[in-house]
Amino acid sequence: MTMSTQKRKKRLNMKDKYKYMTRLGWETTYQDMDDVFPEDKFEGIKIHDWEAWEDPFRMTMDAYWKYQGEKDKKLYAIIDAFAQNNGQKNITDARYVSALKLFLTGVSPLEYQAHRGFANIARAFRGDGPRVACQMQAIDELRHVQTQVHTLSHYNKYFNGFSEWTHWHDNVWYLSVPKSFFDDARAAGPFEFIIAIGFSFEYVLTNLLFVPFMSGAAYNGDMATVTFGFSAQSDEARHMTLGLQAIKFLLEQDPDNVPIVQKWIDKWTWRGYKVLGLVSAMMDYMLPESPQSWKEAWELYFEQNTVALFKDLERYGITVPDCAATIKAEKEHISHQVWMTLYTHNAAAPFHTWIPDEKKMDWLSEKYPETFDKYYRPVYEHWNKLEKEGKRYYSEMLPQLCQTCQLPMLATEVEKGEPTQIAHRHTMYNGERFHFCSDHCKDIFEDEPEKFIQSWLPVHQIFQGNCGGATLPEVLKWYKVEFGQDNLDYVGSQDEKMWKEWKGEA
């Protein structure tokens, strides 16, 4: 053997190392490239030069593990300290925990969906730059769902409404709103997926999702949740870079791509906004101390920041989606309308709702001067009176749902100056009538009716007999929601009782 006498080769420099470890693509010759990558043409997107889409992360796996490992170590140290110091007792109020229940059941499963979706498109693109970048993001997303589950599992030791979060995400009525959002994206082609999630959601809307939850956590003494937020933040910055790069790449490759991309931006901004309806109610009602209102968040993150981004895309012929005008018109109403719905149907939802107290109502009056005292305060006063008489209002009936976004038909004709009139739209397809909450949801359906006729609408599924039975106890059993523990008003709940014992108020 001559090994020992050979001179050891010099280590590769960073640039070469990156190149050799990530440039794994080649032109196939035994098989047609279209057979190897069968998914990147059917959407009608034209690509002339895949090399123009570089991997924006430029990380190799060994560097990635080291970097993420450091962040995980810090995160888990803080979570341990939170647990040892009984951090759950230092939050502002146990009502706050409902925001976490909504996060774990409605948002964390989307991180997992994002993981699966990015892993899938990492296989679908024939350019190796985006393939590597999407694979990295897929791993990030898996880390996010894990850190969130680990953090929130601490609350599961003390509070109801966490135990069956995966089952709830897949089955409970209002969670079909976020679930169907991601099912729609993942059932699309790879280009639509990356515009839907990488651009519209990560870039345009993510600040409206994560900042409210994380700043809400900070304002309410929940350092554990703040920490997983911080741990994800540097990943999110990379994801936003990938989303922006994706859209610019598509727009620069061929002018025929522009109308397709515009259609997807319009669709996914609206789809994302409807999911954020749940977040708007969380921000304005579930947080005992609110850092900002939904309206303020929308104005800052969309009307100011995102509109500046669209200015940058104008040169490609891209415009701000039409739905932005609708969202702007609805910003003084949506959070109140969603909270009213959650309050009304709380018998079938595994978190708590409540009538806002005087301090919160005054805050809402201040933040929503045009609408709160005129429309919504009188409703809460009416329901509060019923509650005092021992007749807390729960709807015994099930709502009509929008075929596209799957929210109850709670949106109103705000743009037409009739904020108390529910908006109804419908269309016919294959001899059947389909109903929508808005023109935007109707347009999305009409563009791809074959897809949206397959919506798994929870209310219709109950009536078809697919959810355990026709009565509330049967459906709750099938949902795995414990009546009197996971659901109903905060007042009188086990969460409230325990909280009062902790605070010596029992």
Q: Which residues of the chain form contacts with other proteins (CB under 8 A)?
A: 38-39, 42-44, 189, 337, 340-341, 344, 374-376, 378-379, 382, 393, 395-401, 408-410, 412, 418-422, 424, 426, 430, 432-435, 446-451, 453-457, 459-460, 463-465
| Cα separation, 204 vs 195, whole angstroms | 10
Find the helix or strand (DSSP H, E) in which 432 lies: strand 432-436
Q: How far is the CB of 368 from other proteins (least distance, A)?
A: 14
The tokens for 105 are 């059941």
- Decide if 403 contacts 441 (C-beta within 8 A): yes
Q: Where are the alpha helices (DSSP H) in 422-467?
A: 439-447, 449-452, 458-464
Q: Which is nearer to other proteins, 13 or 464 (CB)?
A: 464
Angle at 412 between CA 268 and CA 344, to 5 degrees: 95
Q: Which residues contact 181 (CB under 8 A, 6 or more apart)?
A: 110, 271, 272, 274, 275, 405
Count of other CB atoms within 10 angstroms of residue 116: 13
Q: How far is the CB of 323 from other proteins (least distance, A)?
A: 18
Q: For residue 47, give Cα distances in angstroms to 40, 57, 252.
A: 9, 21, 9
The tokens for 227 are 């920490």
Q: How far is the CB of 267 from other proteins (least distance, A)?
A: 12
Rounded to the nearest angstrom, the gap between the alpha carbon of residue 211 and the centroid of all alpha carbons in its chain is 12
| Cα separation, 324 vs 316, whole angstroms | 19
Find the helix or strand (DSSP H, E) in which 422 lies: strand 418-422
Q: How far is the CB of 432 from other proteins (least distance, A)?
A: 6
Q: Which is nearer to other proteins, 311 or 426 (CB)?
A: 426
Q: Which is nearer to other proteins, 69 or 390 (CB)?
A: 390
Q: How far is the CB of 506 from other proteins (least distance, A)?
A: 32
Count of other CB atoms within 10 angstroms of residue 241: 16
| Cα separation, 460 vs 365, whole angstroms | 37
Count of other CB atoms within 10 angstroms of residue 319: 12
Q: How far is the CB of 294 from other proteins (least distance, A)?
A: 17
Q: How far is the CB of 344 from other proteins (least distance, A)?
A: 6
Q: How far is the CB of 391 from other proteins (least distance, A)?
A: 9
Q: Which is nearer to other proteins, 57 or 434 (CB)?
A: 434
Q: Which is nearer to other proteins, 168 or 264 (CB)?
A: 264
Rounded to the nearest angstrom, the gap between the alpha carbon of residue 390 and the centroid of all alpha carbons in its chain is 36
Q: Which is nearer to other proteins, 52 or 472 (CB)?
A: 472
Q: Which is nearer to other proteins, 3 or 397 (CB)?
A: 397
Beta bridge partners of 422: 412
Q: How far is the CB of 492 from other proteins (least distance, A)?
A: 20
Give the side-chain half-sphere CA count within 13 A for 220.
27
The tokens for 400 are 């009509």
Q: How far is the CB of 420 from other proteins (least distance, A)?
A: 3
Q: How far is the CB of 330 from other proteins (least distance, A)?
A: 14
Q: Which is nearer to other proteins, 450 or 505 (CB)?
A: 450
Alpha carbon distance, N-terminus to C-terminus of the chain: 81
Q: Which is nearer to other proteins, 376 or 490 (CB)?
A: 376
- Decide if 120 contacts 190 (C-beta within 8 A): yes
Q: Which is nearer to other proteins, 47 or 139 (CB)?
A: 47
Give me the helix-helix angle, 128-156 and 223-253, nearest 10°.
160
Q: How far is the CB of 159 from other proteins (least distance, A)?
A: 27
Q: Which is nearer to other proteins, 13 or 430 (CB)?
A: 430
Which is it for strands 425-429 and 418-422: parallel, antiparallel or unpaired?
unpaired
Helix (H, G, I), strand (E, B) or coil at 425: strand
Q: Which is nearer to other proteins, 76 or 383 (CB)?
A: 383
Q: For residue 88, give Cα distances in angstroms to 82, 84, 159, 248, 308.
A: 8, 10, 10, 44, 40
Q: Which is nearer to other proteins, 307 or 379 (CB)?
A: 379
Q: How far is the CB of 369 from other proteins (least distance, A)?
A: 15
Place of tokens 């795995």: 480
